[in-house]
Structure 1
């Protein structure tokens, strides 16, 4: 039996969203399964018991994570574990997306490239994002990203990449953590044209707004860590670019 390779994160109660995304998948003839998102408001997930609150408060955010943020992280984490259990690359999506008209062509290509690169972003790169094209496959390009901040609306991930991500304690929002290759060593690549051409404009049902302010006395350590983070991201990105350039010689 062939296991499902597209997993859509969605709260059980989000019926309208589920109907919309299911209709798109059916139209594109894509086999998928819903993953019942972890609702942080129903209690702290067991996986979050090892959260590094000291690092969170003094270096990364300066304030406690919201319940929704923890639930969102747990949802992705469970699917990374699922990817390892299945032993093959999978695609993870949110339930509030608009699929490319060529989605049926992009999905197998994304899974194939995840086997090679580990993590493939399937949505647009942020406007100011730094990247380098590393491969051309017909009309599609693969680009190495300096970081991968700004959302995990759709991506393909391999078991080896998932293994790298699950080895570290939580201290960041999940999208920021995935972008922090200096922590886990997993580079992010992007496939374009993307699987997701637009992200819905509804308020997130998994995460919630966080109006807490960061304590002033934590600002110096956070700024120092931010400088370190930017330096490390740039250093690792440039190192990887040099490695790729050398491999072409």
Structure 2
């Protein structure tokens, strides 16, 4: 099978995860390259101070970013430089990505130019979400505006947040916008998609169903252990109190999404009749 879209796998050289994903991609005859990630352990303190704006990060998140989070952002940004200088979008994977069959049968065969007409970035999956929880995620997080694409659905969710970077497609235009917005010291999380969207004017969409999953349940993360002490957890009783509100939000979101789809169909029919 020949893929239309280049696949780039961001990975630390010392990572022990390269062989697994290389075998998976090679089994499906996907052409791919490894992109060496910046190793947080090798960044001198003086260099880290130049790479990172702690005041800006604390202002946005109420905490500092870990060295691993900063290194992750810099790693992806270096790849964006190559994408922005090219004529083709790429699929970016992290080396703990787990891939569904639809990734090979459909996504790698996408025509990037057609996709770039309405999106700069398409998120192909979400971190810290198991396959078994996917249907619940689709139920509670419907797409506000969507359109069919190659037998799947791509659209704008009601809420974008720090949902991971385990797998995404990015166009040359998207890479250029992301670079322009993030120039200088790192001041946000790489996967803070609202930050990229609002400040960088990127059109960030999601794919449904997801085709990329993070192997967080079986593959240890280089960033997670360092980040966890910086994040305050939410207790179980707070989650239980929020459950009724989530249900109300679910009903409202699906109602709004339905109305938007009906209006879009009406507008399309009216345009056809007018022609």
* TM-score, normalization by structure 2: 0.68
* Alignment match, 1:222: none
Matched, 1:93 2:93: yes
* Alignment match, 1:12: 13
Q: Where do 1:173-188 residues align within 5 Å? A: 173-176=189-192, 178-180=193-195, 181-188=197-204
Gaps of 5+ in 2: 130-136, 233-256
Q: Specify whether residues 162 and 22 from structure 1 end up closer, same or farther in structure 2 by C-alpha distance, changes over 3 A only.
A: same
* Alignment match, 1:147: 160
Q: Distance in 1 between matches of 2:126 and 2:177?
A: 24
Cα displacement (A) at 1:162 = 1.1
Q: Distance in 2 between matches of 1:123 and 1:188?
A: 13
Judge conservation of contact 2:122–2:205 (CA < 8 Å) in 1: yes
Q: Where do 1:85-164 residues align within 5 Å? A: 85-104=85-104, 105-109=106-110, 111-112=112-113, 114-116=115-117, 117-124=119-126, 127=137, 128-129=140-141, 131-145=143-157, 146-164=159-177
Q: Distance in 1 between matches of 2:4 and 2:146?
A: 30
Cα displacement (A) at 1:8 = 0.4
Judge conservation of contact 2:4–2:109 (CA < 8 Å) in 1: no
Cα deviations by residue, 1:148-190 (Å, 9 ceiling, x for unpaired): 42101000000111111112343211101x3322111113112
Q: Specify whether residues 87 and 63 from structure 1 end up closer, same or farther in structure 2 by C-alpha distance, changes over 3 A only.
A: same
Kindly tell me the number of residue pairs found equivalent between the two proteins. Answer: 219
* Alignment match, 1:191: 207
Q: Distance in 1 between matches of 2:75 and 2:190?
A: 10
Q: Distance in 1 between matches of 2:6 and 2:161?
A: 22
Cα displacement (A) at 1:106 = 1.6
Moved over 4 A (4+): 44-48, 244-249
Cα displacement (A) at 1:70 = 0.7
Matched, 1:203 2:214: no
Q: Distance in 1 between matches of 2:162 and 2:21?
A: 24
* TM-score, normalization by structure 1: 0.75
Judge conservation of contact 2:5–2:112 (CA < 8 Å) in 1: no
Cα deviations by residue, 1:97-151 (Å, 9 ceiling, x for unpaired): 2211132222122735542211111115973545224211352111113314210
Gaps of 5+ in 1: 215-237
Q: Distance in 2 between matches of 1:161 and 1:37?
A: 20
The structure with the largest alpha-carbon Rg is 2
